[in-house]
Structure 1
Amino acid sequence: MNKKQSTVFAFSLITSLFFLWGFAHNLDPVLIPHLKRSFTLTITQATLVDSAVFAAYFLMALPAGMLMKKLGYKAGIITGLLFFATGCFLFVPAANMQSYNFFLIALFVIACGLTILETAANPYATVLGNPETGAQRLNFAQSFNGLAAALAPAIGVRLILTKGVTDEELNSMTATARKLALAAEASTVKLPYIVLGCVLIGIALLFARTKLPSIEAASHGTASKNVFHAFRHRHLAWGVVAQFFYVGAQVSVFSLFILYAPKSSGISEIKAGDYLSICGVAFLVGRFVGTALMQKIRPNTLLAWYAIINLLLCLVAIFATGIITVYAVIGICFFMSVMFPTIFALGINKLGADTEYGSSLIIMSIVGGAILPRIFGYISDATGNIQYGYIVPFCCFVVIALFGYKGYEVKTETDKPSYNPSSIV
C-alpha cells in the first residue's frame, strides 16, 4: 500500500469513528424521555443524562491529550474504543438493577471513551493531508456524524421508546406492579447497546492491526510547555468559549426535542422521534452543503452568517405554535451542522506544538453540553413552557456569531495579527 492509499485508508477508519460516536450521542435524546418516564423525572432531572455525558469531556479531555502526546494517536483511539464499549455493556446491569444512577455511570464511562476518541480523531482528520484543506476535510468526516444523527433516533425510538402500558394504566397500578412494568420498559435499552458494544470491540481490533500514518511531524514543533501555554493563542481561547456555547446549543436542541415537539406542536413522541431523524438528515445535508460552500466562502464568514440565521429561527421556536416550530428546529439543525468542526478547525489553526493541548481544551469546552441544557430545563420547569428554553440556544448563537466575525483571528501574546482565513479553505 503506497503512501496515498495508506492515507486514504487511515482517513476512512477515522471517519468511521465520527459515525460511531455520533450514533451514541444521538441515542441520548431517546434515552431522556425513556428514563424520564421510567423514573418519573422532571425535565431538569432528565437532563442529568447530558450532564453525565458532557461532564466526562471536561474531566477526561486533558488526560486524553496527555495520552496522545505520550503514546500517540493509535493508542488513544484504541483506548477510547474500549472505554466506549465498556460503557455500552454497563447498560445491562443498569437495566437489571432499575437504577437511574447506574445508567448515569454507564453514560459517563461511554463519554470518557468518546472524549478520548474526539481528542484524537478531530486533530488527526484535520492534519491528515493538505493543511490548506483541513477545515473541509474535518467537515467531511463530521458529515458521518450527521449520518448517525439521521439514523440513531429512528432506530432508537423503535427499539427503546416503546410503551408496554399507557400512562393511564400505570396510574391505576399498585406501586409494586408499576415498578415491575417500568422495569420491563427499562430493559429495552439492552439490545441496542450490546450490539453497539460488540461493534466497537471489532473496530478496536481493526485499529490494533492497522498501521496508521504518523502525523507527529506535521503537528509538532518545539515541545509545548503546558496546557496554559496554549492559551497564549487568543483565537484558541475564543474557540474554547465558542465551542462551549455551541455544544450547549446543540445538546439542548437535539436532546430535548422529543420533549419539546409534542408540547409545541401537539405531535406524539414517536412522531417526534421521526422528526428528530429529519433533524439528523438536515444536519447531514448541512454538513455537505457547508463543506461545498467553504470552497467559495471563508469558514469564519459562513459560521457567522449561519449563527445569525439561527438567532431568527430560535425566535420562531420560542414564540410560534404548531408544526412550524418543528420546522424551525429542523432549520436550526441544518445551520448548526458546520459549527463544531469549523470552530474546532479555526480554534486549533496554526497552534504548532500546542496542537494537542489546544485540541484537549476545545474538547474540554464540550462541558457546555452538561451545563446549558440544565439551564434550558430550569427555564422550562420554572415557566411551565418548554419553548422558553430556546432562550438558551439563542444566547449561544450570539457568541458563535461573534467568534465567526472577529474571534477566529490568529493572534498570540507575542505575535502580530497574521491570519488569512482563506488559508484553511
Structure 2
Amino acid sequence: MALPPGAGATSHSQSDGGPATNYRAALTLLASLFFMWGFITVINGTLLPHLRSVFELSYTQTTLIESVWFIAYFFASIPSAKLIERVGYQRSMVIGLAMMAVGALVMVPAARLPSYGVTLFALFVIASGITLLQVAANPYVAVVGKPETASSRLNLVQAFNSAGATLAPLFGGYLILGRTTSGTAAAGAAALTPAERLADAQSVVLPYVIVAVVLAVLAIVIARFPLPAMGAATQRHAKEERKGHSLWAHRNLVFGIPAIFIYLIAEIGVGNLFINFVSQPDIGNLTHQQASDYLFLLWGGMMVGRLIGAFVMQKVDASKVLAFASIGATIVMLIAASTTGHVAMWALISVGLFHSIMFPTIFTLGIRGLGPLTEEGSGLLIMAIAGGALVIVQGWLADQYGLQASFLLTAACELYVLFYAVWGSKPVVNGKLVTTETSTAG
C-alpha cells in the first residue's frame, strides 16, 4: 500500500522513541471503533424488516432507509476531512462517537411517536458519525505500523468490524425481532393491527439506549487514551509539494473509486434484504427472528474471510486474492438468484466469505502509488462508500421483478470488482505501469 513519502520512516522513528506496544495498544483500541460501527451498521439488517412491518413499507421505501444512511457518507466525508485537519484525529474520533450516541438516543422519540421521518433523521446522524470515524481511522490504521504490512493490517482490523457485524443480528434478533409481533410471526401472516404496530415500534428503545451508553463510554476512553501521533509525514502536504501530481493520472484510484461505490451496492443489498429473502416460503420459510440467526452466519463469514485474507495477502498479491473473491461471489449470487430452497439460502449466506476482503483490499490498491496525494485519494475512496445509497435501486427491482431476481444486480456488481482486480487496480501513471517498489516510494 502506498504511503506519503517518509511515512514508513516516521513509523519506525516513533517506534524507536517509545515501546512497540504503544502501537499494538492503539490498534487494539481502534479495533473497538471498527467493531462498533460494524455492529451499528448491521443492526439495520434486523431493523429494516422490523420497520417494513411497523410502517407497512414497500421494498423501495424500506431500502430508502438504508439509502439515507449511505447518503451521509457523501455529505459528511469532506466536512469530516476538514474537521480532522482542524482538531486532529483523536478529537475527531471522540466527536464521531458522540454524534453516533446522539443519533441512537434520537431513535427513542422516533420509536415512541412512531415516526418514519424522525427515524430517517436519527439514522442519518448516526451514519454521519460513522463517516467521521471512517475518514479518521482507516488512514490511521494504514500508517501506524510498517508500510509493507498495511494491507494485511487493515484487513485484520476490518475483521473486528465484521465481528461487530456478526454479533449485531443476534442482538437485534433478540432485542428487536424477538420482542415483536411481526418478528415472531410466520411468513405470510396477517397484517398487524395499529396497537401491535405501536408496540412493535417501541421495541427499539432499549437496544438503542444500550448502544448510546456504550458509545458514550467508548468516547471517554478514546479521549483519555494516549494515541501515538501520526507525525508530519501523514499530515496534509503543502500545495507546493503536490505540484506536478494529479489524482486522475493514477488508474488504480480512478477505477478504485467506482469499485468501492459499486461493491457497497452489492454488500448492502445482500445484508439488508437477507432476512426478507430467506423468510420467503420457497427459500427458508423462516420467521424474521429465525432468519436473523442466519444473518449472523453471513457476517461471520466476512469476519473469517478477513482473518484468512490478512494471512494470505502477506504471501499472495492482493489483486489476485481480490480476483478470486469476485469470481466466487459472482457464482454464488447467480445460484441465489436462480434456485430455491436451502440451496439459494446457503448461496446467499456464503457470499459473505467472498465479500470479506473486498473493501479493505480495494481501498489499499486504490491509494497505492499516490505518494503526496494519498490523503486526498483516501478521502475520495471513503466518500465512495455512498454507493450503498443505491441499494434503493435493488429495492425498486425487487418491487418490479421480484426479490430473488433483484440479486442479479449484485452479481453484476461483482463483475466490476473482477475487472478492477484484473486490470483497473494496476498502478499506472500517465500510461506507464508503476512497480510496487516505485509506488511505495511515492
TM-score class, shorter-chain normalisation, is over 0.9
Deviation at 1:265, TM superposition (A): 2.9
Normalising by structure 1, report the TM-score.
Answer: 0.92
Aligned equivalents of 1:188, 1:70: Cα separation in 2: 40
Q: Is the 8 A contact 1:68 1:356 kept in 2?
A: no
Match 2:394 to one of 364, 376, 387: 376
User: What residue identity is the alignment partner of 1:341?
Assistant: P
1:221 to 1:20, Cα distance in 2 relative to 1, 3 A: closer
1:215 to 1:318, Cα distance in 2 relative to 1, 3 A: same
1:259 to 1:271, Cα distance in 2 relative to 1, 3 A: same
Match 2:217 to one of 185, 192, 202: 202
Aligned equivalents of 1:255, 1:361: Cα separation in 2: 25
Deviation at 1:181, TM superposition (A): 2.1
Deviation at 1:127, TM superposition (A): 1.1
Indicate yes or no: 2:113 matched with 1:97: yes
User: What residue identity is the alignment partner of 1:367?
Assistant: A
Deviation at 1:376, TM superposition (A): 1.1
1:279 to 1:88, Cα distance in 2 relative to 1, 3 A: same
Indicate yes or no: 2:241 matched with 1:238: no
1:281 to 1:39, Cα distance in 2 relative to 1, 3 A: same
Q: Is the 8 A contact 1:65 1:359 kept in 2?
A: no
| Corresponding residue of 2:9 | none
| Corresponding residue of 2:227 | 212
Aligned equivalents of 1:170, 1:309: Cα separation in 2: 39
| Corresponding residue of 1:86 | 102
Match 1:312 to one of 331, 346, 355: 331
1:169 to 1:313, Cα distance in 2 relative to 1, 3 A: closer
Aligned equivalents of 1:421, 1:313: Cα separation in 2: 36
- The 3-state SS of whatever aligns with 2:145 is coil
Indicate yes or no: 2:57 matched with 1:38: no
Indicate yes or no: 2:340 matched with 1:321: yes
| Corresponding residue of 2:93 | 77
User: What residue identity is the alignment partner of 1:2?
Assistant: G
| Corresponding residue of 2:10 | none
Deviation at 1:169, TM superposition (A): 8.7
Q: Is the 8 A contact 1:65 1:119 kept in 2?
A: yes
Deviation at 1:148, TM superposition (A): 1.2
User: For structure 1, which runs of at least 5 residues remain unmatched after alignment?
Assistant: none
User: What residue identity is the alignment partner of 1:392?
Assistant: L
Deviation at 1:213, TM superposition (A): 1.2
Range with bigger deviation, 402-411 or 138-147: 402-411
Deviation at 1:275, TM superposition (A): 0.6
User: What residue identity is the alignment partner of 2:137?
Assistant: A
Q: Is the 8 A contact 2:149 2:314 kept in 1?
A: no
User: What residue identity is the alignment partner of 1:132?
Assistant: E
Deviation at 1:50, TM superposition (A): 0.8
Aligned equivalents of 1:120, 1:249: Cα separation in 2: 24
Aligned equivalents of 2:349, 2:424: Cα separation in 1: 27
- The 3-state SS of whatever aligns with 1:387 is coil
Deviation at 1:254, TM superposition (A): 0.7
Aligned equivalents of 1:393, 1:216: Cα separation in 2: 41
Range with bigger deviation, 42-51 or 60-69: 60-69
Q: Is the 8 A contact 1:299 1:421 kept in 2?
A: no
5 Å-filtered alignment, 1:163-312, equals 163-164=180-181, 171=191, 178-220=193-235, 222-223=237-238, 229-263=246-280, 264-312=283-331
1:288 to 1:422, Cα distance in 2 relative to 1, 3 A: farther
Deviation at 1:291, TM superposition (A): 1.3
Aligned equivalents of 1:108, 1:269: Cα separation in 2: 25
| Corresponding residue of 1:65 | 81
Normalising by structure 2, report the TM-score.
Answer: 0.89
Aligned equivalents of 1:26, 1:139: Cα separation in 2: 18
Q: Deviations over 1:88-120 (max 9, x none)?
A: 111011011100111010000000000000111
Q: Is the 8 A contact 1:147 1:281 kept in 2?
A: yes
Range with bigger deviation, 158-167 or 4-13: 158-167
Aligned equivalents of 2:264, 2:407: Cα separation in 1: 14
| Corresponding residue of 2:23 | 7
The number of aligned residues is 415
Deviation at 1:125, TM superposition (A): 0.7
User: What residue identity is the alignment partner of 1:388?
Assistant: A
Range with bigger deviation, 44-53 or 345-354: 345-354
Runs of 4+ in 1 over 6 A off after TM superposition: 167-170, 421-424
